[in-house]
């Protein structure tokens, strides 16, 4: 049984953590005005502003911040300042009992995919793949639709995505319903062979990435293919793949050709073009929630992520 965290209310406290790389501090500070505009209070984790090489503090420090926010009864939701790299370094030390006993909103994307996948697998808590504070909210490019996506945290609501938001293309037709899982393709591939391996059997697999050339996307999808993650999935949702132009080779397959090779011939619903990922607008989704992918009408519907 999936656990939906309790909705937010005006005046609630948000915990801000840096689970991966150091966030841009100026952008992070600007994002706080947005939270206040939602009627929320906020508090930083102890190590949000730390830097340890390419990490936002040492592994135990970032883990302690995450645990502290789940344990803090005053904190009603946790939003990640940014991604980058590093969350997988301490995932094997996560206290899943603590998280399961204190279910609350957990929001982020990119490198946070590893945490989403592990938490979803071992606690059944629905978490949220959405724009983060320093890397999205605090930037001038932050889109009104991205801002609107935070409304789903205050009121249980169905989310609907169709071509009024962005052009969509069906690679394979059909209609399917199932739990939505996934996130950043590179991080999903990194889970393979670990205890936190993404489970796709009978589920809708969502993928996105940034800065990966077609040959790299090819290799990542091939890894999922050989682990049976693509054949096990009930349907495939392809989000945004920005900055994916070939750079190392003059001759290259296109990204569309790569997608067609790996998921266009599976005989199950596959739709691409969703503005979910490293993009603006960024359509935020509740991972672990029930969803319906209609590849014939090119639409996606998701049930509420909060209680």
Say whether the peptide bond before residue 281 is cis (omega within 30 degrees of 0): yes
Contact 125/11 with Cβ under 8 angstroms?
no
Q: Three-state SS string across the chain, please? A: CCECCCCCCCCCEEEEECCCCCCCHHHHHHHHHHHHHCCCEEEECCCCCCCECCECCCHHHHHHHHHHHHHCCCEEEEEECCCCCCHHHCHHHCCHHHHHHCCCEEEECHHHHHHHHHHHHHHCECEEECCCHHHHHCCCCCCHHHHHHHHHHCCCCCEEECCCCCCCEEEECCEEEEEEEEEEHHHHHHHCCCCCCCCCCCCEEEEEEECCCHHHHHHHHHHHHHCCHHHHCCEEEEEEEECCCCCCCCCCCCHHHHHHHHHCCCCCCEEECCCCCCCCCCCCEEECCEEEEECCCCEEEECCCCC
Does the annotation mark 110 as catalytic? yes
Q: Residue written as tokens 């932050």?
A: 142
Q: Determine the angle formed by the axes of helices 214-226 and 255-263, rounding to 10 degrees.
A: 10
Task: Point out the catalytic residue in the list 208, 212, 213, 282.
Answer: 208
Q: Which one of 18, 278, 282, 299 is the catalytic residue?
A: 278
CA distance 18 to 47: 7
Pick the catalytic residue from 18, 20, 27, 110: 110
CA dihedral 277, 44, 28, 117 (to 10 degrees): -10
Active-site residue list: 110, 208, 278
């Amino acid at each position: 049984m999936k656990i939906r965290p309790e909705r937010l209310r005006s005046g609630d406290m948000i915990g801000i953590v840096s689970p991966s790389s150091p966030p841009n501090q100026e952008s992070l500070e600007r994002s706080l005005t947005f939270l206040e505009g939602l009627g929320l209070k906020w508090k930083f984790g102890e190590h949000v502003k730390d830097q340890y090489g390419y990490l936002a503090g040492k592994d135990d420090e970032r883990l302690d911040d995450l645990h502290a926010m789940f344990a803090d009864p005053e904190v009603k939701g946790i939003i990640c300042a940014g991604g980058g790299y590093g969350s997988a370094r301490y995932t094997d030390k996560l206290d899943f009992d603590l998280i399961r006993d204190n279910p609350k909103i957990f929001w982020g994307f990119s490198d946070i995919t590893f945490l989403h996948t592990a938490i979803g697998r071992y606690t059944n808590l629905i978490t949220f793949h959405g724009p983060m504070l320093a890397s999205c909210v605090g930037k001038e490019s932050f889109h009104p639709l991205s801002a609107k996506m935070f409304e789903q945290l205050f009121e249980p609501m169905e989310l609907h995505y169709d071509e009024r938001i962005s052009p969509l293309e069906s690679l394979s037709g059909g209609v399917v319903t199932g739990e939505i899982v996934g996130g950043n393709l590179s991080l999903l591939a990194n889970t393979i062979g670990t205890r936190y391996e993404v489970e796709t059997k009978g589920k809708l697999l969502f993928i996105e990435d940034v800065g990966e050339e077609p040959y790299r996307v090819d290799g990542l999808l091939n890894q999922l293919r050989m682990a049976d993650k693509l054949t096990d999935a009930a349907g495939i949702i392809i989000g945004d793949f920005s900055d994916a132009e070939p750079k190392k080779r003059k001759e290259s397959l296109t990204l569309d050709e790569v997608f067609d090779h790996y998921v266009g011939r599976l005989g199950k619903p596959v739709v691409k073009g969703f503005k979910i990922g490293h993009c603006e607008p960024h359509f935020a989704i509740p991972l672990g929630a029930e969803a319906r992918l209609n590849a014939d009408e090119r639409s996606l519907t998701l049930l509420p992520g909060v209680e």
